[in-house]
């Protein structure tokens, strides 16, 4: 009797409730009656059509031609790095009525240097802009206009601040899990996306990595915790960024490793006035439509029993890079 009442309530308010459920919760209630089965199928179809939950300019579909139950990968979406602990436990996904809250946009500018004055070109920057001068796609460090500048979001020197810049799709592979593929031609040097997720302290990153390693050893679990070290000009110190996209992140969390370096290069890009740089992905060569997007996770293989690598490149080491975080 109690179950029936819950079903009626869910059917009546499905539009409001179902998009907030995780994939597991959705799967469970889809078994309870025909109406809920039908409603959850619609939600699932919407989720598959856009992993970004409409946060990005283009929809980013999941494609799975394999005969398994992995119709999509469940995670929360953020288009940029999250600097605080105020991470939601749930986020709506799969209903056209509810669109993402604007609060989630432009997080890149929330941690800034006070009083850093950038360029004063006006709304759109000109040739002589003090912040210009890196978009050759080759240097290790990039600079863009930022919160310290007078220009606005339309400025051409804010290329990496407007979310995913090219059409991509998330495709299932039997051995590597989900992977990110180009859904259009991408010319060498073009910006694609940044690596978005939670910015963690090193202590928290080490705690989570230990937990993820345990999960990976007993399950087909994929973590997306990335550690970036930026060597400072003094040579004596390095800035360490720990970005965890496992629970909440953007499409960069689906980029798989390739031992030959793949077709993407990474660069830290700093916006004038921003405290932290962002890790940005550029095409290191021309990329054709339907080509998988990959990069090298690193050179170090510390673990004797590392995870097997299926990158298929002639220079494959056989195991994925692994480091002590």
Ligand X SMILES: C[S@@+](CC[C@H](N)C(=O)[O-])C[C@H]1O[C@@H](n2cnc3c(N)ncnc32)[C@H](O)[C@@H]1O
| Residues forming the site for ligand X (CB under 6 A) | 73, 176-179, 222-224, 253-254, 256-257, 307, 309-311, 320
- Percent composition of the chain: helix, strand, coil (DSSP 3-state, to 5): 20, 20, 55
Specify the residue, 5 or 220, whose C-beta has the smaller distance to ligand X.
220
For 235-240, the CB contacts below 8 A with 24+ separation are 239/277, 240/202
Contact in structure between 268 and 274 (CB atoms under 8 Å) = no
The CB-of-270 to ligand X minimum distance in angstroms stands at 24
Specify the residue, 121 or 180, whose C-beta has the smaller distance to ligand X.
180
The CB-of-255 to ligand X minimum distance in angstroms stands at 6
Tell me how far apart the terminal alpha carbons of the chain are, to the nearest angstrom: 52
Q: What SS3 class is residue 77?
A: strand
Specify the residue, 155 or 255, whose C-beta has the smaller distance to ligand X.
255
Specify the residue, 124 or 307, whose C-beta has the smaller distance to ligand X.
307
Specify the residue, 150 or 310, whose C-beta has the smaller distance to ligand X.
310
How far is residue 280 CA from its own chain's centroid?
11
Residue closest to ligand X (Cβ): 177
The CB-of-250 to ligand X minimum distance in angstroms stands at 12
Specify the residue, 58 or 310, whose C-beta has the smaller distance to ligand X.
310
Specify the residue, 275 or 307, whose C-beta has the smaller distance to ligand X.
307
The CB-of-2 to ligand X minimum distance in angstroms stands at 37
Kindly list the distances between the CA atom of residue 264 and the CA atoms of 25, 36, 240, 295, in Å, as whole numbers in the listed order: 36, 43, 21, 5
The CB-of-222 to ligand X minimum distance in angstroms stands at 4
Contact in structure between 108 and 161 (CB atoms under 8 Å) = yes
The CB-of-64 to ligand X minimum distance in angstroms stands at 11
Angle of the 2-12 helix axis to the 34-49 helix axis, nearest 10: 40
The CB-of-190 to ligand X minimum distance in angstroms stands at 21
Q: What SS3 class is residue 108?
A: helix
Instruction: Please name the residues in contact with 194: beta carbons below 8 A apart, sequence gap of 6 or more.
Output: 80, 81, 160, 250, 252, 269, 278, 279, 280, 281
């Amino acid at each position: 009797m109690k179950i029936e009442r819950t079903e009626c309530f869910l059917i009546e308010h499905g539009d409001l409730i179902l998009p907030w459920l995780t994939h597991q919760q959705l799967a469970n209630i889809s078994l309870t009656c025909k109406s809920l089965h039908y409603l959850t199928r619609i939600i699932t179809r919407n989720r598959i059509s856009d992993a970004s939950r409409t946060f990005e300019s283009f929809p980013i579909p999941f494609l799975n031609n394999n005969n398994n139950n992995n119709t999509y990968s469940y995670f929360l979406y953020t288009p940029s790095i999250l600097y605080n602990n105020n991470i939601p436990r749930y986020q709506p996904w799969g209903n056209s009525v509810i669109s993402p809250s604007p609060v989630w946009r432009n997080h890149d500018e929330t941690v800034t240097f006070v009083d850093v004055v950038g360029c004063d070109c006006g709304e759109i920057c000109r040739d002589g802009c003090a912040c210009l001068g890196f978009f050759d796609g080759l240097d290790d460090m990039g600079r863009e206009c930022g919160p310290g500048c007078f220009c606005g979001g339309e400025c051409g020197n804010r290329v990496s601040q407007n979310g995913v810049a090219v059409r991509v799709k998330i495709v299932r592979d039997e051995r590597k899990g989900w992977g990110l593929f180009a859904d259009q031609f991408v010319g060498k040097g073009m910006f694609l996306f940044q690596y978005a997720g939670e910015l963690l302290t090193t202590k928290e990153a080490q705690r989570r990595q230990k937990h993820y390693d345990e999960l990976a050893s007993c399950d087909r679990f994929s973590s997306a915790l990335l550690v970036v070290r930026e060597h400072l000009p003094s040579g004596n110190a390095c800035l360490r960024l720990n970005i965890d996209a496992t629970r909440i992140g953007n499409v960069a969390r689906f980029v798989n490793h390739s031992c030959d370096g793949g077709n993407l290069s990474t660069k830290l890009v700093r916006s004038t006035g921003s405290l932290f740089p962002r890790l940005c992905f550029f095409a290191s060569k021309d990329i054709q439509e339907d080509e998988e997007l990959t990069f090298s996770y690193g050179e170090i293989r510390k673990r004797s029993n590392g995870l097997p690598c299926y990158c298929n490149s002639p220079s494959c080491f056989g195991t994925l890079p692994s480091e002590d975080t």
